[in-house]
Structure 1
Amino acid sequence: AYLLEGNSLTDQKIVMAHVCAHVDFFKNNYFFSKTNRKMIDGMANHASRVRRHMERHGQEVVEDFIDTCLSLENLIDPMSPYINRQAVKKVGNDDEDDGQDRSGRLRSKGYMDSFINPPEYLEAQKKKREDEAKKAKHRFPEHPQRDVLQFLIEHSPMEHWQRDVLEIVRDEAYYFAPQAMTKIMNEGWAVYFHSKILTEKALTAAEVIDYADANSGVLATSPGRLNPYKLGVELFRNIEDRWNRGQFGKDWDECDSMEQKRNWDRRTGLGRDRIFEVRKLYNDITFIDEFFTLEFCVEQKFYSFGFQERSGNWEIMSREHKKVKNQLLAQLTNRGQPVIVVEDGNFENRSELLLRHVHEGIDLDAAQARDTLRNACKVWTRPVSLLSKVEGKGKLLRCEDGNLSERSAEYPGS
């Protein structure tokens, strides 16, 4: 948002009120709580480091490598600041946890032991443990790693300046990740409060029409496109109205009369408190998952659409609430991008990198997968492979020196 010289006074007021609401959201939403609060200074430091690398290695060389890194910047783990991905090793005796001791012997009464733990079973358990220990010893990383950039920084044989550039790209990717995770909420919150501030406090009577015209442009929705400003503000207003009228809780959930729900008003007056609580604790996925109700979907006339091969056109596929909601959530999960993990840093014992696409029903875009693989290969400096599914069958895409090859492969769990 900018206070441009050519803006009218009304536009300047909209910008200032809108930005004030954004600041409130950035300051209080949980998903921004882990970000660097001095990132302006951090980015200035990043810029000086990049300029220093350019002076030493040449501007074109450094810029080309930055472009390569930027094509990989989404290969991070956006939830890692909030959760621990590593399994916590148990301390002490595990016997009581699963009814099985470390030898694989199942707990049993003495007189039943020969039946519950026959010699062939114990031998099979011993062999299984040995195989698992052998695999774990040679597996690198021990578990699939979601933060691909971190793995490349730690293990790729890059030059020092290249590692520094990749660290800069990764730091900034994590800084901006919460904005992608809360786009709908953030913009909805800003529209909600710039509307409140301007219509109740800051506008003169002569400015109302100009404001309405500008605001309608912000909230305009064209067919086939999701407007985060519109969806966000309407959801916040819906939440406030529902909690003001007591449209929540066990009685509300169990009511199956649409007419009764339309006239439901217990005058609880909890709406404002509720939206501030939502602003603090939710991100877009949890926001949509909890508050995108059947009533809201019908009221706002949402629908899902897709490409109809028979007609060759994009058409409305469904107005069913569950399908619309699921499509929205699918678009928001991992910011609408595929989940890629490091599966093996020593693939086939040749120091090659194996990445795996966590397939969740949608195939990769083949062209983008190839471009990303080529750039990952530049950073790893050795061949890189990507395991995925195409039309339900495992495929391994391999890049070596910029040349791509493809073959069938077994996909885990298939």
Structure 2
Amino acid sequence: MEIPEENTAKRCGRKVISLEYTSMDLRNWCDIIENASRKAGLDFYPQEFEIVDYKDMIGYEAYSGMPSRYPHWSFGKSYDKADSLYKYNISGLPYEMVINSNPCLAYLMKDNSLLLQILTMAHVYGHNDFFKNNRLFKEGTRASYTIEMFKNNADMIREYVNDPSIGYNGVEKILNSAHSIRFQANRTIGMAKPKDDAEEPKDDLIAFIVKHGDLEEWQKNVLNIVRAETAYFLPQIETKIMNEGWASYWHYKTLNQLDLSPSLHLEFIKRHNDVITPLVGMINPYYLGFKMFQDLEKRYGMDKIFEVRALERDESFIRRYLTEELCNEMNLFQYAEKGSNYVVEEISDHSGWTKIRSTLCSTCGINMIPNIVVDDISKKDNTLVLRHIYEGRELNSTYMEATLKHIFDLWKYPVELNTVIDKNKTKVCCEESKKISYTTLR
């Protein structure tokens, strides 16, 4: 556990206020929290903490927590945006950031108060347990190889950037296109790869282009790097509500069992309520997950919550365990755009709560992202024919056209997408010179 030896200080406007704890205090509290978590039944990887300042936290946030990741302008854009929002007090920074690795690595903000460090360490042990035991992480990632994988990928990308025959612009162009379609992959985490090499990866767009596209070896390697790193992040996308709810449930349970002083306990209640406060116009995953795990413990007992933690993802978690009573308690409702206004469509009454639950299921995790699959390759002109699996939500035309152009850059031949626009079946084509055309099908 890496902790500064001297007292840290807190930035507060133009004032610098000495914090009230030492590195030894944090080590002692870490031992207490780890023992309490283990006694409660949590099973986690060895845990490492690193104390970082706000600039480091912004950097890690921009790179999704990875200490080493390949260079790309989008990460710099994320850093500048977060840095500006923080400097002008428009938004804050995460209390912590946790990496799904073995050992598990977590970053703590050195500006945090003692209580906030205690709470976030307890929160981290909840995440650690979830990473180790939820089936999506067990089947879809290799925690012991995480840090090494990202470092090796970064080294390979930098080699291509430094290669005079490729250069930064060549690598950037491939990365731009790969990022635009990285989530158009197989959505069944942990599914075994087909042994028959002849079977087409039609639900994995990058894999299909790597296999059938006219690409150089280094370009295929860059695409496979993006594909592998996306697969690492997919379980986190699919379990955001469960993962944050589980960590919040355990930091709340753990700190209530610790011998906190009255002042620390008062701050704990305030901080916890800040974490799970319902948000206006959107779902707070910490709040929804926390309330659902509390309800599961109340209705079924502790064995059940550990079983749910191991087996479910957000969609199945909500569909199976979000009850009418919880919907009413949380005052969930559903609204939609009607003309120039937004109106409430459903409320959490006896007739409407199941529709609200279905909407949550259809918009959580990877379901937030449109699903595009390969239909065919035209024998006439090598056109790549794609199909949007339409489930009632139309594609954003600006993003759709830009993405088709990126696919064209990779495929190098015309690209055709079949989708639905204004309730009509429509064929959208990106042809030579990247011209976009629309054809309504009858």
TM-score computed with the length of structure 2 as normaliser: 0.71
Higher relative contact order by CA 8 Å / sep ≥ 6: 1 or 2? 1
Find the aligned partners of 1:313 and 1:361 in 2 and give their Cα distance: 20
Find the aligned partners of 2:402 and 2:379 in 1 and give their Cα distance: 23
Number of equivalences: 327
- For structure 2, the 5+ residue unaligned runs are 1-95, 97-106
Find the counterpart in structure 2 of residue 128 from structure 1.
none
Paired AA for residue 333 in structure 2: Y
Find the counterpart in structure 2 of residue 72 from structure 1.
181
Find the aligned partners of 2:173 and 2:153 in 1 and give their Cα distance: 17
Say whether residues 1:229 and 2:260 are aligned partners.
no
Find the counterpart in structure 2 of residue 402 from structure 1.
434
Find the counterpart in structure 2 of residue 49 from structure 1.
156
Find the counterpart in structure 1 of residue 142 from structure 2.
36
Structure 1 182/202 Cα, relative in aligned 2: closer, same or farther at 3 Å?
Answer: farther
Structure 1 237/230 Cα, relative in aligned 2: closer, same or farther at 3 Å?
Answer: same
Provide, for residues 245-288 of structure 1, a one-character-per-residue CA deviation record: whole Å limited to 9, x for no partner: xxxxxxxxxxxxxxxxxxxxxxxxxx111100100111101100
Find the counterpart in structure 2 of residue 292 from structure 1.
322
Provide, for residues 64-90 of structure 1, a one-character-per-residue CA deviation record: whole Å limited to 9, x for no partner: 32122111111111215236789x9xx
Paired AA for residue 319 in structure 2: D
Find the aligned partners of 1:326 and 1:239 in 2 and give their Cα distance: 19
Aligned partners of 1:13 and 1:202 also within 8 Å: no
Find the aligned partners of 2:343 and 2:384 in 1 and give their Cα distance: 41
Structure 1 165/84 Cα, relative in aligned 2: closer, same or farther at 3 Å?
Answer: closer
The 5 A counterparts of 1:312-351 are 312-319=340-347, 320-332=352-364, 334-344=366-376, 346-347=377-378, 349-351=380-382
Aligned partners of 1:143 and 1:343 also within 8 Å: no
Equivalent residue for 2:233, pick from 155, 176, 181: 176
Find the counterpart in structure 1 of residue 410 from structure 2.
379
Find the counterpart in structure 2 of residue 209 from structure 1.
266
Provide, for residues 196-251 of structure 1, a one-character-per-residue CA deviation record: whole Å limited to 9, x for no partner: 111212633220121222222211222211100000000000111112xxxxxxxx
Paired AA for residue 164 in structure 1: N
Q: Report the CA distance between 1:142 and its aligned residue.
A: 7.2
Find the aligned partners of 1:73 and 1:203 in 2 and give their Cα distance: 46
Find the aligned partners of 1:33 and 1:333 in 2 and give their Cα distance: 18
Structure 1 326/176 Cα, relative in aligned 2: closer, same or farther at 3 Å?
Answer: same
Find the aligned partners of 1:82 and 1:205 in 2 and give their Cα distance: 50
Structure 1 331/387 Cα, relative in aligned 2: closer, same or farther at 3 Å?
Answer: same
Find the aligned partners of 1:147 and 1:155 in 2 and give their Cα distance: 12
Aligned partners of 2:201 and 2:207 also within 8 Å: no
TM-score computed with the length of structure 1 as normaliser: 0.75
Aligned partners of 2:240 and 2:365 also within 8 Å: no
Equivalent residue for 1:281, pick from 311, 328, 334: 311
Q: Report the CA distance between 1:358 and its aligned residue.
A: 0.9
Q: Report the CA distance between 1:349 and its aligned residue.
A: 2.4
Secondary structure in 2 aligned to 1:145? coil
Find the aligned partners of 1:202 and 1:395 in 2 and give their Cα distance: 64
Find the counterpart in structure 2 of residue 97 from structure 1.
none
Find the aligned partners of 2:194 and 2:241 in 1 and give their Cα distance: 27
Sequence identity percentage: 33
Of 393-402 and 277-286, the range deviating more from structure 2:
393-402
Q: Which has the higher strand share?
A: 2
Q: Report the CA distance between 1:306 and its aligned residue.
A: 1.0
Secondary structure in 2 aligned to 1:356? strand
